Amino acid sequence: MGNTIHSRQRSINVSRASIRGAGLIEVLVAVLIMAIGLLGIAAMQATALRNSQSSLERSQAVVQSYSIIDAMRANRVVALAGGYNMGMTCAPPGGGGSLVANDQAIWIRDLQDTMGSTACGEVVCNAGNCTVTVQWDDSRAGPQGATGDTEQAVETQTRI
């Protein structure tokens, strides 16, 4: 009987010795898995933030396009005569005192205030059909489309 007790204690001691440290390994594996998951969440958050900024800039491009279109409709006679036509420009034209020059200068300044200093605009009217193009650098969102361009443009066509 004494031998069985002794052998039982020995087997119990051996079992405890082989298990020692297993809890720590389990905790380390759990912490590693959690860290990888948190890094994944942080990467998704950064991507969502970039895409949100890009979406905001697209919305601002549409709003600013309508802004110059509304100014042209308020001064319809001059707009129909091509007075608002201007090539792609990033520098606000000097407001020379005329309504058209002031509208264009304010529009380009507003573009750059809302979308950054890389924002440019173009207005082309022909026989009452007008096209307003807003262009900007969207490199913060990363390459877009199949060509990987970071330069984005929104084109709005309307009839005045």
| 82 vs 124: CA distance, rounded Å | 8
9-27: string of b/e by CB count within 10 Å (b at 16+)?
A: eeeeeeeeeeeeeeeeeee
How many other CB atoms sit within 10 Å of the CB of residue 30? 10
Give the per-residue pLDDT at 12.
Answer: 55
Region 88-117: what's the mean pLDDT? 89
User: What confidence score (pLDDT) does residue 95 get?
Assistant: 64
CA 30, distance to chain mean position in Å, is 34
The crossing angle, in degrees rounded to 10, of helices 22-74 and 99-115 is 180
Judged by average pLDDT, the poorest of 47-56, 68-77, 89-98, 119-128 is 89-98
Q: What is the pLDDT of residue 51?
A: 85
- Which helix (H) or strand (E) segment holds residue 149: the answer is none
| More confidently predicted of 20 and 148 | 20
Which residue would you say has higher pLDDT here, 135 or 92? 135
